[in-house]
Amino acid sequence: VLLREVQALTLRRGQYTTSRRTAAVPQLQCTGGSAGCSRAPEVVQCYNKGWDGYDVQWQCKADLENTHRFGQIEVSCEGYDYPDDPYILRGSCSLLFRLELTEEGERKVKNSDSFGFYQSRKDSSDSGAGAIVIIVILVLAYGVYKFFLSNQQPQQTFGDGDGFARPSWQNHQAPPPPGFKPSFT
């Protein structure tokens, strides 16, 4: 089939291309994007919008939520006899695409992120800020815990010059702990 004459392609997730000279590949391949690939479409139709003298210009459509759109797309087809053959093997086309968030999608993500830990790929320079905040909070919480825990446990001292070991509260003239019986001294 002459590639320039192909008017439309219907590509399905989970199905592979027809192959003759190369290995078969999935018809649809999501390569990431700000929306990720978790909501990649089941079926995509790509339409021939014209020839630029070198390649066909494709426009691809699918049933996507209002929050998602196609980003970069690349339709690849296997040349029948050699890689750049203008004739292609029928059924050999595949689509590589990125799935991006629309403005509405970006608003929804920001509104659902109440703690500010979401980092879009565009803001990757600040990707460690959330982790640093969490680590600082955990260290402070541990310090407060250890401070109050260590103040509640009586510590033993070994010797006061008279040969007897006494709990630290006896050395500092502090009141005895609750439940203390003076007859046990």
- Mean per-residue pLDDT over the chain, rounded: 82
Give tens-digit pLDDT for 30-50.
Answer: 999 999 999 999 999 999 999
- What sign does the dihedral 74-79-83-86 (CA atoms) show? negative
Q: How confident is the model at residue 123 (pLDDT cuts 50, 70, 90)?
A: very low
Specify whether the backbone of 32 is left (phi greater than 0), alpha (psi in -120 to 50) or beta: left
What is the model's pLDDT at position 181? 65
Residue 148 pLDDT level (bands cut at 50, 70, 90): confident
Most confident residue range from 76-85, 103-112, 120-129: 76-85
- Tokens 């050699």: give the residue: 82
For residues 17 and 164, what is the distance between their CA atoms, to the nearest angstrom?
87
> 34-43, 51-60, 97-106, 174-183: lowest mean pLDDT where?
174-183
Kindly indicate the confidence band of residue 146, based on its pLDDT and cuts at 50, 70 and 90. confident
Residues in a beta bridge with 64: none
The 10s digit of each residue's pLDDT in 98-110 is 999 999 999 988 8
Is the pLDDT at 78 greater than 50, yes or no? yes
CA 88 to chain centre: 37
Q: Is a pLDDT exceeding 90 seen at residue 18? A: yes
Give the pLDDT band (50/70/90) at residue 185: low
